Chains A and B, each alone.
Chain A
Amino acid sequence: MFKVSKRNLKYVFAAAALIFLIPYLISLFSSPIQKIVQPPLSIFTLLQREVRGLFFYHRNYLENERLRNENYSLRIKFSEFKELYQENSRLKKLLSFKQKSVYKLIAVRVIARAPDNWSFALLVDKGRRNGINKGMVVINYRGLVGKVAEVSDDTSKIVLINDPSLGISGIVQRSRQEGLVNGTLGSNLIMRYLPEDADVLIGDTVVTSELSKSYPKGLIIGSVVNLGKEFSGLSRYAVIRPAAQLSNLEELLVIAP
């Protein structure tokens, strides 16, 4: 059935040449394809949002009320923290500590998701022209979201923290226990290589560690929802629910150092 005759041999060679050309073709076509698809995707996303907004009007109204109240209490807390921050800065100056750098944030909007089931990535509407570079960290108001993997002039691809290819050095906020946080392709993350006597409890908050040079220290990754023992029996693992709701991301912030 799949016998290759001499006549077909040239097609085989053509196919082989095509395989070698494909990486070049992709780099050539990737940006134009993204540019062509960007306007219909943006319109489609906008329409979906508006229809959803109308459909869930009552729920959104109640949520708005709740958020207003929350916002009010947070403002009060924020002013208290501001006071503490200023006091802290004054004390640091007195002690001649180095001032912590303030990050610049770039707001981006999600326009597409990865088209397959084997990776968790997003396409956002800003790129190199807006100051985004490869490797920058992406957050939202809840916590860490991911990292910029690829940048074109007007768009960027972001790998989410639940993608298995991403590894983050994490630390349990309460006990300062360190571990490696990985994506699982599911909705949760896994914190591996915890020693047998690790002080980790269900409900503990996990934040980025200062060991990881790629991520700023102290960004919230998520909270521990389950604990277990590795198959080898040598170490333990913790299942982490991400703080950011990764299945429903719309607006994000890119941290520009």
Chain B
Amino acid sequence: MKKWLFGLLIICLGVLQLSPIGILNFFNLKPDLLLIACLASVFFFRFKYAFLISIFCGLFKDAFLVYPATLNTISFAAWSYIIFRVAKEISTDNILVKVGLVFLVALLQNIIMAVLSSYYGVISLGIYLRVIIFASIYTAFVSPLIFILSKKILDR
């Protein structure tokens, strides 16, 4: 039941992220809610389930992108494995540690996307930095809300 509720939460987060009116947009940037959901699954569920959730989140995101169509599925699965290994080494009970990890992952994900985007077209350095830094901060800033929601689902 909890797993199904978490799945429903992911679909809701996906719908919010895809919203055409852009209610989450802040300075033309949106947080990566599906990435947060993928990491929340690693923090709150067993790894096998979390890994499947990560692949689903990546597929969900890739299904609505034009290019590069497989990157998120691969990277989300990789992040879930890396965070699972990191969580074995350090305590992730404190919410600030979780937020820090989300920021790091979002930053690295954005850097990978920036490198790929440079292949598709010329983007100014200012825009690169704005998206890399501010989108990562925004994602980290929103993550506690999703962690609280996930915890509530688990505690039901």
B143 to chain A, nearest CB (A): 16
In the complex, A30 has a CB within 8 A of chain B: yes
Stretch touching chain A among B38-46, B94-102, B119-127, B144-152: B119-127
Inter-subunit contact B124/A113 (CB<8 Å): no
Distance in angstroms between the alpha carbons of A183 and B120 in the assembled complex: 11
Q: Which residues of A contact B (CB under 8 A)?
A: 1-2, 15, 18-19, 22-23, 25-26, 29-30, 33-34, 36-37, 40-41, 44-45, 48-49, 52, 110-119, 121-123, 149-150, 157, 159, 163-167, 182-187, 247-250
What are 28 A-B pairs at a CB distance below 8 A?
A: A25-B73, A26-B73, A29-B59, A37-B18, A41-B15, A48-B21, A111-B20, A112-B19, A113-B22, A115-B14, A115-B17, A115-B34, A115-B61, A115-B64, A117-B113, A117-B135, A118-B116, A121-B66, A157-B66, A165-B67, A182-B121, A185-B117, A185-B127, A187-B28, A247-B22, A247-B28, A248-B21, A249-B20
Binding site for A on B (CB under 8 A): 11, 14-15, 17-23, 25, 28-30, 32, 34, 55, 59-67, 69-70, 72-74, 77, 85, 89, 110, 113-114, 116-117, 120-124, 127, 131, 135
Contact A2 B20 (CB under 8 A): no
B61 lies within 8 A of A116 (CB): yes
Distance in angstroms from B16 CB to nearest chain A CB is: 8
Query: Which secondary structure dominates where chain A touches chain B?
Result: mixed
CB pair B120–A164 under 8 Å, yes or no, is: yes
Q: Assess A25 versus B59: contact at CB under 8 Å? Given A116-B65, A118-B113.
A: yes
Report the separation of the CA atoms of residues A159 and B120 in the bound assembly, to the nearest whole angstrom: 13
A37:B11 contact, CB within 8 angstroms: yes
B95–chain A nearest beta-carbon distance, Å: 24
Q: Which of B21, B73, B131 contacts A49 (CB 8 A)?
A: B21
Q: Which of A1, A45, A111, A165 contacts B120 (CB 8 A)?
A: A165
- Tell which of B63, B113, B123, B127 touches A29, judged by Cβ atoms closer than 8 Å: B63
B123 touches A184 (CB 8 A): yes
In the complex, what distance in Å separates the CA atom of A186 from the CA atom of B135? 14
Residues of B within 8 A of A122 (CB): 20
Query: Told that A23-B69, A118-B113, A121-B64 touch, could you supply 8 new A-B pairs with CB distance under 8 A?
Result: A41-B18, A117-B113, A117-B135, A119-B65, A123-B18, A164-B123, A186-B127, A247-B25
Chain B residues near A250: list those with CB within 8 A. 20
Contact among A22, A115, A184 for B70, CB-based, below 8 A? A22
Smallest distance from the beta carbon of A59 to chain B beta carbons, Å?
A: 16
